[in-house]
Amino acid sequence: MHTTTIKPIRNEQDYQETLTRIEQLMEAIPNTPEFDELDVLTTLVEAYEEKHYPIAPPNPIDAIKFRMEQLGLKQSDLIPYIGSKSKVSEILSNKRALSKQMIRSLHESLNIPLEVLIQPYPLNN
């Protein structure tokens, strides 16, 4: 029986060594000890990265612009969710804050995550 010693990732050196081992195991066949090792090491790396390299949620306005690009929307397409053409322009240029109603509407209609839309962001006054 093949045994592998798996240890926690405590520092950058452990992290790099684990990434190297994962690379060696990338072709592992499912239901083998090597595949199980790959699965465990991947979980350890994910936990280490979440703790040491957190990814901040995007700015709400950037998220709206990204969704517009994904869906091929123009500013005028946001009028039903934000209000007038001038409000849309003010929102997208960071001159006006999103209201609770706008956030709810953008979340429900364009499926932009609520946790992204409620993030604070700077206004250009």
pLDDT per residue, tens digit, the chain (125 aa), is 556 788 999 999 999 999 999 999 999 999 999 999 999 999 999 999 999 998 877 899 999 999 999 999 999 999 999 999 999 999 999 999 999 999 999 999 999 999 999 999 999 87
Rounded-to-integer distance, Cα 117 and Cα 104, Å: 9
**Superfamily of domain 60-117 in the CATH hierarchy:** lambda repressor-like DNA-binding domains (1.10.260.40)
pLDDT of residue 85: 96
pLDDT of residue 5: 82
Rounded-to-integer distance, Cα 67 and Cα 73, Å: 8
- Tokens 């993030």: give the residue: 119
pLDDT of residue 1: 52
Tokens of 115: 């946790």
Instruction: Give the global pTM.
Output: 0.60
Torsion of CA 60, 63, 65, 70, to 10 degrees: -160
